[in-house]
Amino acid sequence: MARVKRGKTARQRRKSTLKHTKGFLWGRKSKYRLAKEALIHAWTNMFRDRKKKKRDFRQLWQTQINAASRMQDIPYNKLIHGLKEKKIDLDRKVLSNIAQNHPKIFEKIVEEIKEIKKK
């Protein structure tokens, strides 16, 4: 059986790893062993934080909607419940955007929900 020489493959693998560590500090950007270890941690954090980002933004939108709805004398939970009863399909991102950039439209949405409470 022929001898397998891995020089080219190993060099390509190391080069690829070091390419991913561009911008890291100290030896973690240039020394393969440190770079490999840094990438393991970096990719773990990246995966986790992509999920966390979604939670953080939803929480921000809920806070913004709550602030805007309380100015209209209706708490967040009643607003969301009213939207579901009225079958108004607006997600929190859009609702937050409307509350910030188009307060008149948000006011009309809240009025629609307040009508349910009166009945």
Mean residue pLDDT across the chain: 94
Give the global pTM.
0.78
Choice between 7 and 68, residue whose per-residue pLDDT is larger: 68
Per-residue confidence band for 119, with pLDDT thresholds at 50, 70 and 90: low
Whether residue 96 lies inside any domain: the answer is yes
Q: Quick one: pLDDT at residue 116? A: 76
DSSP string, 64-87: HHHHHHHHTT--HHHHHHHHHHHT
Q: From CA 98, how far away is CA 105, in angstroms rounded?
A: 7
- Whether residue 70 lies inside any domain: the answer is yes
Look up the domain containing 96 and give its range: 10-118
Residue 53 identity (one-letter amino acid): K
Distance CA 77, CA 37 (A): 46
89 occurs within a structural domain = yes
Any domain includes 27: yes
3-class secondary structure, 31: coil
Q: How confident is the model at residue 3 (pLDDT cuts 50, 70, 90)?
A: confident
Q: CATH no. for residue 64?
A: 1.10.1900.20
DSSP conformational letter for 88: -
Over pLDDT 70: what percentage of the chain?
Answer: 97
2 within some domain: no
Instruction: State the total domains in the chain.
Output: 1
pLDDT tens-digit map of 27-78: 999 999 999 999 999 999 999 999 999 999 999 999 999 999 999 999 999 9
Is 5 within a domain? no
Per the domain annotation, does 85 fall within a domain? Answer: yes
Answer yes or no: is 1 within a domain.
no
Instruction: Copy the structure tokens of residue 99.
Output: 């509350």
Q: How far apart are CA 119 and CA 115, in angstroms?
A: 7
